[in-house]
Amino acid sequence: MKNVLIFGASGHGSVVLDILEKSKEFRPVGFLDSFIKKGTKKNGNRVLGSELDLLHIKEKHNVYGGIVAVGDNWVRRRLVRSILCLAPEFIFINAIHPSAFLGKNVHLGNGTAIMPGVIINSNSTIGDHCILNTRASIDHDGILSDFSSLAPGVCCGGNVHLAVGAAISLGTLVIENIGIGAWSVVGAGSLVLDEIPENIVAYGSPARIIRKRRAGEPYLGIPRNRKDLKFPFTYTA
């Protein structure tokens, strides 16, 4: 089995760990996380350091590759870029839960997480570093561009196209032949009947454009029991 690292030791990282532990190809050796103390144990695996320790840890543990397990699309892209600056040849693996269904002629990029119960139907293309969360589905001829994501329970009809960094939130329905623009966010429980331009926040049933969205603006909520948390990133393109 190939030794791999998980970048990000949050809840999303724990789900990715669970998937990789079910794999017959990969063996997780630990997490790298800049915001959790080195040595902290998460679901039986330790935080070995931050991404800045990558080269040392890669050699020490004979690491084949890894996956960035960060839910925010923009932050995930930043971390991928940081890793590639440190290790330009680093191999990004896919984490695919055994209960996921992939149809005929489905093409996957690298570094993508596919969670339990996901359905990707025939002739669909999934880019690099995407997230298809629990029980999300995309029908035939769908496209998820790099760093885009579907939250749990999202259902997309045929020929739906998410541009780079687009995010569709919990339980949203998207009818066939719809495009979601780059870095746009569709809010939870929406019904999308029309195209969504880039850099937009939209939600509702039917979904309506609410406002423009600035580059890197956070869109994933802070848990109510963690109001002490401050968003730790300064966004740059």
pLDDT of the residue at 230: 40
List pLDDT tens digits, range 200-222.
Answer: 999 999 999 999 998 889 988 65
Instruction: List active site positions.
Output: 140
Residue 49 has pLDDT above 60, yes or no: yes
List pLDDT tens digits, range 75-89.
Answer: 999 999 999 999 999
Structural contact between residues 229 and 32, judged by C-beta atoms closer than 8 angstroms: no
Please list, in sequence order, all residues whose beta carbon lies within 8 angstroms of the beta carbon of residue 129, skipping any fewer than 6 positions away.
Answer: 68, 76, 77, 80, 92, 109, 110, 111, 112, 146, 147
Map out the domains of the chain as residue ranges. Answer: 2-86, 97-212
CATH fold of 2-86 reads Rossmann fold (3.40.50)
| CA pair distance 186, 192, nearest whole angstrom | 8
- The pTM for the full model equals 0.91
What CATH class is the domain 97-212?
Answer: mainly beta
In 3D, which of 157, 153, 193 has the Cα closest to residue 172? 153
List pLDDT tens digits, range 104-129.
Answer: 999 999 999 999 999 999 999 999 99
In 3D, which of 70, 80, 58, 64 has the Cα closest to residue 13? 70
pLDDT of the residue at 54: 96
pLDDT mean across residues, the chain: 92
